[in-house]
């Protein structure tokens, strides 16, 4: 009896061995890349916002942005520890935008700088997605054991909910900006007027002070202010001038404790400004 051996078909010989896709080809890998490149872009945006709008050069921000961008590039490679690096970088770079004192003040007062608030919220959102996606991909690869990890079923719902929360916070800051704030200037129990300062401005530009009274200046942020007689002009130049009848301010430094200016014994209009923050002027009307 002749036994015929089955010869392998051409299709069997040419069928390639299935190999796991490159990390950057996986759905989870794509999510990690998008999150990190978006994270880096937004940190660069906040750096240039501080540089050109607030006129403040902050080297740590550009260093963090460059580190995030470099990590995003590394995540496109086959390096086996790229995801671990991404998780560490995302965790470390999230500390500053979340816990920096000026940012905490911005979160608590979204209406005073809704542009900055929106940028910070977006930065934190992309940073959290970067961190979570790195951790999720590491776990998924360990469970997949050589096969291509796929996105969990709840990923779309989670990302949609998180995006909705982020947009909601930004819209809330816009609403708070539109609604008039009535607590900018108040008085103490004995009738002393109070003016509040934000991180870069007085809460209002003009304050009324009864003749013979003093003005209590309260710093709502942890940002330093140095007050002087005079004002900033429209071109951004400071002009120090002690007006007749005004209490003399000799570089009054305010960081946390409130300071009292006065008393104002002569009716008139007086001006003070912060020497650190351009455009931060206050007009005091004494009557």
Instruction: Give the CATH number of the domain where residue 245 resides.
Output: 2.60.40.420
- Give yes or no: residues 75 and 57 share one domain: yes
Q: Which residues is 260 bridged to in the sheet?
A: 216
Using a pLDDT cut of 70, give the percent of the chain over it.
Answer: 83
For the cut 80, the answer to whether the pLDDT of residue 114 exceeds it is: no
**How is residue 155 written in tokens?**
């990923």
Q: Strand 215-219 relative to strand 193-197: parallel, antiparallel, unpaired? A: parallel
Task: Report which listed range, 17-21, 121-125, 213-217, is most confident.
Answer: 121-125
Strands (E) in the chain, as ranges, are 185-187, 193-197, 206-209, 215-219, 225-232, 238-240, 252-254, 259-261, 268-274, 281-286
- Give yes or no: residues 128 and 263 share one domain: no
For the cut 60, the answer to whether the pLDDT of residue 184 exceeds it is: no
- CB–CB of 20/147 below 8 Å? yes
Burial class (CB in 10 A: 0-12, 13-18, 19+), 251: exposed
Structure-model confidence comparison of residues 129 and 184, the more confident one: 129
- Give yes or no: residues 75 and 205 share one domain: no
- Picking from 178, 199, 234, the residue at the C-terminal end of a domain is 178
pLDDT, one tens digit per residue, over 27-62 is 678 889 999 999 999 999 999 988 887 777 889 999
For the cut 60, the answer to whether the pLDDT of residue 211 exceeds it is: yes
Task: Kindly state the average pLDDT of the residues 259-276.
Answer: 90
- Give yes or no: residues 170 and 42 share one domain: yes
For the cut 60, the answer to whether the pLDDT of residue 22 exceeds it is: no
- Give yes or no: residues 193 and 100 share one domain: no
Check: pTM over 0.95? Answer yes or no: no
- The answer as to whether 11 is a domain residue is no
For the cut 60, the answer to whether the pLDDT of residue 5 exceeds it is: no
Range of the domain at 127: 20-178
- The answer as to whether 15 is a domain residue is no
Radius of gyration of the chain (CA): 29
Using a pLDDT cut of 90, give the percent of the chain over it.
Answer: 36
- Give yes or no: residues 161 and 235 share one domain: no
- Picking from 118, 150, 178, the residue at the C-terminal end of a domain is 178
User: What is residue 20's predicted lDDT score, i.e. its pLDDT?
Assistant: 45
- Give yes or no: residues 43 and 77 share one domain: yes
- Give yes or no: residues 171 and 238 share one domain: no
- Alpha carbons 134 and 75: distance in angstroms, whole number: 10
- Give yes or no: residues 30 and 140 share one domain: yes
User: What is residue 179's predicted lDDT score, i.e. its pLDDT?
Assistant: 65
- Give yes or no: residues 240 and 157 share one domain: no
User: What is residue 19's predicted lDDT score, i.e. its pLDDT?
Assistant: 46
Average pLDDT of the chain to the nearest whole number:
83
Structure-model confidence comparison of residues 197 and 199, the more confident one: 197
Q: Strand 206-209 relative to strand 281-286: parallel, antiparallel, unpaired? A: parallel
pLDDT, one tens digit per residue, over 75-111 is 999 898 999 999 999 999 999 999 987 788 888 878 7
- CB–CB of 24/76 below 8 Å? yes
Domain count along the chain: 2
- Give yes or no: residues 172 and 209 share one domain: no
Task: Kindly state the average pLDDT of the residues 173-179.
Answer: 74
- Picking from 178, 210, 236, the residue at the C-terminal end of a domain is 178
Under the banding of pLDDT at 50, 70 and 90, the label for residue 180 is: low
- Give yes or no: residues 276 and 191 share one domain: yes
**How is residue 47 written in tokens?**
């750096």
């Amino acid at each position: 009896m002749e036994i015929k051996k089955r010869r392998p078909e051409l299709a069997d010989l040419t069928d390639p061995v299935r190999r796991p896709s490159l990390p950057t080809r996986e759905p989870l890998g794509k999510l990690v890349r998008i999150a990190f490149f978006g994270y880096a872009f937004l940190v660069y945006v906040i750096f240039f916002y501080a540089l050109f709008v607030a006129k403040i050069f902050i080297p740590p921000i550009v260093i963090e942005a460059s580190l995030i961008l470099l990590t995003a590039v590394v995540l496109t490679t086959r390096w086996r520890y790229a995801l671990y690096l991404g998780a560490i970088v995302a965790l470390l770079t999230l500390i500053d935008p979340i816990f920096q004192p000026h940012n905490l003040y911005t979160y608590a007062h979204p209406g005073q700088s809704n542009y900055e608030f929106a940028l910070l919220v977006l930065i934190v959102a992309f940073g959290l997605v970067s961190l979570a996606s790195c951790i999720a991909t590491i776990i998924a690869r360990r469970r997949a054991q050589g096969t291509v990890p796929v996105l969990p079923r709840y990923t779309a719902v989670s990302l949609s909910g998180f995006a909705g929360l982020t947009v909601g916070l930004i819209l809330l800051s816009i609403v708070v900006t539109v609604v008039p704030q009535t607590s900018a200037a108040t008085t103490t129990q004995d009738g002393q007027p109070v003016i509040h300062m934000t991180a870069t401005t007085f809460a209002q530009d003009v304050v009324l002070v009864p003749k013979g009274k003093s003005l209590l200046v309260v710093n709502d942020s942890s940002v330093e202010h140095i007050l002087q007689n005079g004002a900033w002009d429209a071109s951004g130049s400071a002009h120090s001038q002690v007006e007749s009848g005004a209490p003399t301010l000799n570089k009054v430094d305010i960081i946390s404790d409130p300071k009292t200016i006065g008393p104002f014994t002569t009716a008139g209009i007086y001006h003070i400004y912060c020497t650190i923050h351009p455009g931060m002027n206050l007009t005091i009307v004494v009557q």
